[in-house]
């Protein structure tokens, strides 16, 4: 099977990088995320670290998007502070992103290997939560 490379939304990567550069040496906020809404808007967020399981930037972004009336995201990317560049989503975020936005694309890969992939490609043999809920009464 041949897969055609999907163009990378570089404006989105730059939006996340711009927010990441504002974080300085914060211990609480070390990652920035940016997502392209279905209507073209860009939503950004940062993580809220806490030892009890504070949310990653991707999860904060889902809430921030909803607060702005954005309920459909096309693409998401996370960028680390201290010039770490694009950072792939953790396992928990991959599952949450798949369940919220099954058609979402995620920008992954460092430097010239940066690419845009379907979120489902990041979770082989995915558990699809909605498939295991009881049908409506
Ligand atoms: Zn995460």
Q: Which residues surround ligand 1, an ion (CB under 5 A)?
A: 56, 90, 93
CA 47 / ligand 1 centre spacing (Å): 9
Strand bridging mode 42-46 / 31-37: antiparallel
Instruction: Number of helices (H) and strands (E) in the chain: give both, helices first.
Output: 3, 6
User: Which residues does the annotation mark as catalytic?
Assistant: 58
CA 41 / ligand 1 centre spacing (Å): 22
Q: What would the pLDDT profile of 11-41 be if each residue is shown by its tens digit?
A: 999 999 999 999 988 999 999 999 999 999 9
Give the total number of structural domains in the chain: 1
Task: For residue 96, give the CATH number of its domain.
Answer: 3.40.140.10
Q: What would the pLDDT profile of 45-92 be if each residue is shown by its tens digit?
A: 999 999 999 999 999 999 999 999 999 999 999 999 999 999 999 999
The pTM is what?
0.92
How far is it, in rounded angstroms, from Cα 105 to Cα 34? 12
In a domain, 133, yes or no: no
CA 58 / ligand 1 centre spacing (Å): 6
Please give the residue range of the domain that contains residue 33.
10-121
């Amino acid at each position: 099977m041949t897969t055609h490379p999907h163009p990378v939304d570089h404006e989105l990567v730059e939006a996340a990088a711009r927010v990441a550069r504002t974080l300085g040496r914060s211990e609480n906020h070390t990652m920035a995320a940016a997502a392209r809404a279905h209507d073209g808007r860009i939503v950004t967020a940062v993580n809220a670290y806490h030892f009890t399981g504070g949310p990653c930037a991707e999860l904060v972004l889902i809430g921030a998007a909803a607060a702005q009336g954005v309920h459909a995201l096309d693409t998401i990317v996370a960028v680390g502070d201290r010039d770490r560049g694009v950072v792939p989503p953790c396992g928990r975020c991959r599952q949450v992103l798949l369940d919220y936005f099954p058609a979402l694309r995620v920008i992954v890969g460092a430097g010239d290997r940066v690419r845009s992939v379907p979120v489902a490609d990041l979770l082989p043999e995915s558990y699809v939560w909605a498939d295991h809920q009881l049908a409506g009464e």
